[in-house]
Amino acid sequence: MPGTPPKRRSGFPGWRFVVCALLLAILISGFVRALVFDVYYIPSGSMAPLFDEGDRVLVSRLDQDIHRGDVVVFDGRGSFAPISSGRSDVVDGVVALGRWIGLTSSDTVYVKRVIGVGGDTVACCSPTGQVMVNGEPIDEPYLFSGDKPSSVEFEAEVPQGRLWVMGDHRSVSADSRSLLGAPGGGMVPEDRVIGQPVAIIWPFSSAGKLESIHLTAPVQSQNQ
């Protein structure tokens, strides 16, 4: 209408759309990280040569069918939490973010390789110095060069629903061997597994899909 002053435009057109889009992106990211994939930072060499210190790995939460030889990321509360000397082998999904925005990382999430599943008897060492599962020595091509399969002798029966796990860099890894006398015996409940690493995404020089390694061993007799 004549004489009606023009309406003042917003100094930032579409700001409501930008805020809504940002919130939606955060919600989608949270959903994906909670149910599908997450990114974890490796702060030590306990899983070398598979993972080096500083690697970022993509972890899938979808496949929970766990076999001997699988690498798993798990919540160690109730099984690994007693490890307190330096916690050099802890991995946590917040560690990488913490380096950028100051978040505090958790010290109860770990990455290890599954050596024994429920019903297995895991022991070391065979006459040839190998780890044995159900009385048979296993080949471990993933071990850190120069490391023995174990410098600690052990024998343990793995209860159903639990996992015996060890690091690939055995000489620096605190794992199930370290906690045989602790509550839970260092054996991880399967329902504490968060997921399985599927790829290294950083650094680019190491980026790539991870290959699965399944260890074969005879099934423990129910009569033993």
Q: Per-residue confidence at 1, pLDDT binned at 50, 70, 90?
A: low
| Comparison of pLDDT for 191 and 83, the residue scoring more | 191
The pTM score is 0.77
Kindly name the residue from 44, 112, 150, 176 that is annotated as catalytic: 112
85 annotated active-site: no
- Residue 98's pLDDT is 33
Q: Per-residue confidence at 218, pLDDT binned at 50, 70, 90?
A: low
pLDDT in tens, 117-153: 999 999 999 999 999 999 999 999 999 999 999 999 9
- Residue 185's pLDDT is 78
pLDDT in tens, 95-105: 333 333 333 34
Instruction: Work out the end-to-end distance of the chain between its first and last CA atoms, rounded to an integer number of angstroms.
Output: 96
DSSP single-letter state for residue 73: E
Could you give phi then psi for residue 184, rounded to 5 degrees?
Answer: 90, -15
Residue by residue, DSSP assigns 150-200 as -SS-EEEEPPTTEEEEE-SSTTT---GGGGTTSTTTTPEEGGGEEEEEEEE
CATH code for residues 37-116+163-209:
2.10.109.10
pLDDT in tens, 7-35: 545 554 566 656 555 555 444 544 444 45
List the one residue out of 47, 39, 144, 133 whose CA is nearest residue 95: 39
Kindly name the residue from 10, 29, 44, 46 that is annotated as catalytic: 46
Where along the chain do its domains lie?
37-116+163-209
pLDDT over 70 at 93, yes or no: no
209 annotated active-site: no
pLDDT over 60 at 110, yes or no: yes
pLDDT over 70 at 87, yes or no: no
- Residue 183's pLDDT is 76
Average of pLDDT values for 56-72? 88
| Comparison of pLDDT for 3 and 123, the residue scoring more | 123
